[in-house]
A and B are shown apart, each in its own frame.
Chain A
């Protein structure tokens, strides 16, 4: 759990634009092994784009990304198998049932933890009937829980979560946090996740990074950031991400 060693994720001068809009603009960011990092930023700041670029799911305009020391554009199968990812929207394979979907992914990962999958399915409300229902007929929350189970199933060393709890009710979110604390952080997994639910972030994120105008503008230990500024996380978010243009003169 010590945050020592070489970065597990390294982004250097990453740029990505959509048409005229520069979403990432010379962004540098490093994540060390064992860090639990909360990624914060306003709606449309580019958090999903950043996470997608980090995982090699989008081509970069400029710059480079390495994961486990390998160039993400030519990532080995071994490195790929060490990553778990929960995208913001999961509409892949939605004609399959949860059982079929999990079987399909199981074949792709050498390190698949059947006991963990069964435990999570049981605890998170996937009874026999639900497990045989096509994913597209599940509720938003059920689909999100399934996506999380899929991402945790192969005991990843790097877990990337993009708004993983947006469709979950408070109890579902708490179940997810408990699993993070007991099943993921305890293993020394490196976790990067974006969310707007600051109370969740406060509980589990030891480090924070703020994305604004295409760069990481502030990062550090969550506790230290709050103590230095003497504000709540909500106030820190507002202070850090507010546009200069929208600031009212004193």
Chain B
């Protein structure tokens, strides 16, 4: 069971998406994509709060929601672990998780009056770039 560092997460301020929501989305994506495997230990609330310099209550709120959704599981005395049976979500479900981010990008593309081909080409290029 690998230990994931608190640097697993990154947040952006100045967004209409509150920080706790950003954390929830990131865990969902990482779990759906298999980077977070069932049984993996999650960093503690305090570690994440320290690493990101955010209020621990915000991190707790994100973990609480993820626990309710069944993405994470609270282990007595051991903190949070990734829940699940080790099955990666079907690719269609995983793609759906990308929707909010892409909707935002689409909105900005329309504001910039870019045509769809240019935007799709750019996205294809970005996908092929190193992580």
Contact = CB atoms under 8 A, between A and B. Distances in A.
A227 B18 contact: yes
A203 B14 contact: no
Interface residues of A, number: 26
B85 interface: no
A216 interface: no
A1 B15 CA distance: 26
A223 B50 contact: no
Contacts of B18: 222-223, 226-227
Contact of B13 (A36, A186, A198, A231): A198
Nearest to B51: A178
A181 B13 contact: no
A232 interface: yes
Given A198-B14, A202-B13, A174 B21 contact: no
B80 to A, nearest CB: 18
A204 B15 contact: no
B64 interface: no
Nearest to A205: B55
A202 B13 CA distance: 7
Contacts, number: 63
A132 to B, nearest CB: 31
A206 interface: yes
Nearest to B13: A199
B19 interface: yes
Q: Mostly helix, strand, loop or mixed at chain A's interface?
A: helix
Contacts of A96: none
A1 B57 contact: yes
A234 B46 CA distance: 27
B20 A223 contact: yes
B111 to A, nearest CB: 15
Closest 5 CB pairs of A and B: A199-B13, A223-B18, A177-B53, A203-B54, A202-B13
Given A186-B46, A234-B14, A203 B55 contact: yes
Nearest to B11: A203
Contact of A181 (B19, B20, B21, B53): B53
A231 B16 contact: yes
B14 A233 contact: yes
Interface string A205-242: 11000000000000000110011001111110000000
A182 B49 CA distance: 8
A231 B57 CA distance: 21
